[in-house]
Structure 1
Amino acid sequence: MAIIGLIIIGAAAGFIATRLMGIEADPVSTVAIGVLGALAGGLVIRFILMVSGWLGGFVGAVLGAMALIWLWRSYGPKGR
């Protein structure tokens, strides 16, 4: 059940992050960005700010996904 929740939160966070960062991504990439962002951002936000609850995790997921997009744009393959 936790995996399904992570995918749902990741899809929502990835969708919001891709729109805020101004990129077009296919649904699989959007979910992957969101899930990875949820893992990275959620852990960092919860650890540093000691935020609890699903809202803190969601905010962390969006911020993490945005950071992942920024890293991809900065250091990923050029020409996209």
Structure 2
Amino acid sequence: MSVVWLIIIGAAAGFLATRFMRIELGLVQTMALGIAGAVIGGLVLRLLIAVTGALAGLVGAVLGAMLLLWLWQVYNRR
């Protein structure tokens, strides 16, 4: 089902991209362009999500460590 979905989405993306950029291509070329664009876009999006996820994890870890250090300082003064 994933390959069929990729073809359908890719064909629609190719059609929309050629219309937005006002380029006339044949049906097969439009579908091939859209499918290739869907693959490239999917890989780039997954990469961005992975990087963003890793950075979000780092930010969360730093904030958590800062919170623990603050709590340690507050209760260590007593």
Into which bin does the TM-score normalised by the smaller protein fall? Answer: 0.5 to 0.7
Deviations 1:58-80 (A, max 9, x none): xxxxxxxxxxxxxxxxxxxxxxx
Identity of aligned residues (%): 56
**Larger radius of gyration, structure 1 or 2?**
2
Deviations 1:29-51 (A, max 9, x none): 11100000001111102211x19
Equivalent residue letter for 2:39: L
2:15 is matched with: 15
1:24 is matched with: 24
Matched length: 50
2:43 is matched with: 43
Runs of 4+ in 1 over 6 A off after TM superposition: none
| Equivalent-residue separation in structure 2 for 1:29 and 1:4 (angstroms) | 17
| Equivalent-residue separation in structure 2 for 1:44 and 1:5 (angstroms) | 18
Which of the pair has the greater relative contact order for Cα pairs under 8 Å at 6+ separation? 1
Equivalent residue letter for 1:14: G
Unpaired runs of 5+ residues, structure 2, are 51-78
TM-score with structure 2 length normalisation?
0.59
| Equivalent-residue separation in structure 2 for 1:10 and 1:26 (angstroms) | 15
TM-score with structure 1 length normalisation?
0.57
